[in-house]
A = this chain, B = another copy of it.
Amino acid sequence: MSLASLVRKLEQFVRLSPMDHVILNRAASERVRHFGPRVDIVREGDKPKDVHLILSGWACRYKQLEDGRRQVVSFFLPGDICDINVFILREMDHSIGTITPVSIADLPHEFFDHVAARHPRIVAAFWWETLVDAAIQREWTMNLGQRTALERTAHLLCEIWLRLRVAGLTRGDSCDFPLTQADLADAAGLSKVHVNRTLQELRANGLIVLKGRTLSVPDLDRLMRAGLFNPNYLHMEHEGQQLDAATTDAAVG
């Protein structure tokens, strides 16, 4: 039930007040739902109702062609929020499915109305989350369009690693890693067979240790170099110079 991951992530951007914490806590404990692994939470064509906050487990957003080709367009890790403000759109243009068992909190319309009026720093933090999401999607475009299979896979692993680390979900140089090679293939736009070859190569180069459902990254810098990975798009402002409320209120509008 790791609301901790959300807070930890948001707080690298804005410092939330004790009241903000209370608000988030309440929102994350009402209307919680649980899903098994490998099921759909939302389907393309649905009319979106709520925003979802991932409390625990991994999920993904994906699109599918009629002939079955499937592309994972993003991963959701604990603490991630799915599509703030989908309220505005009439119909989902993609699906969201679980990878592991997942717990989510549904955040209704009214939560955002309430927050908008009274908790500007939460709003700012959510804006930041939204913008980072968009930046990640652009980077995936770059990844699929320009990087080789090896670079692309390394890049994807770096991104997941850093996002897990910010969420407090790494231990030393290891983390849980529930993705199958088929999942990686759908995300990287590669065949399963070639993902397998590529992982072998990463292993042979000592860049990763991946066994069971655990990933270790013995030397992140080397993996980042292999993936031509530049973390700037994640906009992690870990230098500690966070925006204060006055600035963010104005920026959010």
Residues of A within 8 A of B (CB): 44, 61, 63, 65-66, 69-71, 73-74, 85-91, 93-94, 109, 112-113, 115-116, 123-124, 127-128, 131, 133-135, 137-142, 144-147, 187-189, 228, 232-233, 235, 237, 243, 248, 250-253
Take A71-B145, A88-B248, A127-B85 as given contacts and tell me if A63 and B138 are in contact as well, using a CB distance cutoff of 8 Å.
Answer: yes
- Sorted from nearest, which 4 A-B pairs have the closest CB atoms? A145-B189, A116-B253, A144-B144, A112-B253
Do residues B146 and A85 form an inter-chain contact, with CB atoms below 8 A?
no
State whether A127 and B88 are in contact (beta carbons under 8 Å apart), knowing that A137-B134, A137-B141 are contacts in the complex: yes
Question: Which of A66, A145, A147, A228 has the most C-beta atoms of chain B within 10 angstroms of its own C-beta?
Answer: A145
Chain B residue numbers with a CB within 8 Å of A89 are 128, 131, 135, 235
Check A71–B142 contact: CB distance below 8 A.
Answer: yes
